[in-house]
Amino acid sequence: MSHDFDIIIVGGGAVGAALACALKNSKLKIAVIEAVSPKADIQPSYDDRGLSISLSSKNILDNLGLWQNISPHSNPIKHIHVSDQHHFGFVRMDAESMNVSALGYIVLARELGKAFMQTIEAAENISFFCPASVTAVEISALSASVTVNIDGVDKIISSKLLVAADGAESRTRDMLGIKASVEDYQQVAIVSNVLPQRPHLNTAYERFTETGPLALLPHSQQRCVLVFTVAANEAEKYLQMDEQGFLDVLLERFGR
């Protein structure tokens, strides 16, 4: 049975794009289908958030030849400080004492996306359909048949293997009737950048609070990525606060 591709990857986010990059220069003919242009401000995967990646993820990106382009937009995590609000005791981790160059890195999601897309677009064995949406999927024992909507026109392509990498709320998963178990923590993480008065010294802080974890992660230009977890029914209150009000709550929660 002949197929248009060996593998069709639905979704060009971090998971789909990393898989495609890992398969570049292989003998496999690959299609990546992504709904939103990487240059769009509304791109769901590659916006201006700082992503914390582990040392092993950095090593994977290095092996894929991507790290050299991402590295100038990254900041190493050299120390980690974990604490529990209203309790004594804390845990400290240190890159030097663990004989590693860094415990992880903060990278700009947009730059990660740029590095993925450059590699995908340059790879001769990868066809990148974007912006293009998968609207229907059919699976048989030998083949996957995928309907792709490009500029309002439906095109059907087939492959031996279909990879659903279209995110946590995967429509492909739903179309195939694959069940997922979801647990709602009733928490919302507010993510932003803050500029501390003192240098962050490449230290990542994680603090467990009554409403969930609070993280301050060392970013480039001495900024810190803030991940502030609050009860879901209070999120709007925090989002409506003015800057000083928000910083006051943050200082109180983080501890001076």
Ligand X SMILES: Cc1cc2nc3c(=O)[nH]c(=O)nc-3n(C[C@H](O)[C@H](O)[C@H](O)COP(=O)(O)OP(=O)(O)OC[C@H]3O[C@@H](n4cnc5c(N)ncnc54)[C@H](O)[C@@H]3O)c2cc1C
Instruction: Name the site residues for ligand X (rule: CB under 6 A).
Output: 10-16, 33-36, 44-45, 49, 51-53, 133-134, 165-167, 171, 191
In the bound state with ligand X, the residue whose beta carbon lies nearer, of 14 and 95, is 14
- The 3 state secondary structure assigned to 119-145 is HHHHCCCEEEECCCEEEEEEECCCCEE
Strand extents, DSSP E, the chain: 5-10, 30-33, 50-54, 74-77, 79-84, 90-94, 104-108, 126-129, 133-139, 144-150, 153-164, 187-194, 203-209, 212-218, 224-231
Query: In angstroms, what is the minimal distance from the CB of 256 to ligand X?
Result: 25
Q: How far apart are CA 55 and CA 212, in angstroms?
A: 25
Query: In angstroms, what is the minimal distance from the CB of 9 to ligand X?
Result: 9
In the bound state with ligand X, the residue whose beta carbon lies nearer, of 78 and 116, is 116
In the bound state with ligand X, the residue whose beta carbon lies nearer, of 1 and 24, is 24
Query: In angstroms, what is the minimal distance from the CB of 248 to ligand X?
Result: 23
Rounded to the nearest 5°, which phi and psi values hold at 143? Answer: -155, 150
Residue of this chain nearest to ligand X (CB atom): 13
Amino acid at 160: K
Query: In angstroms, what is the minimal distance from the CB of 244 to ligand X?
Result: 24
In the bound state with ligand X, the residue whose beta carbon lies nearer, of 10 and 250, is 10
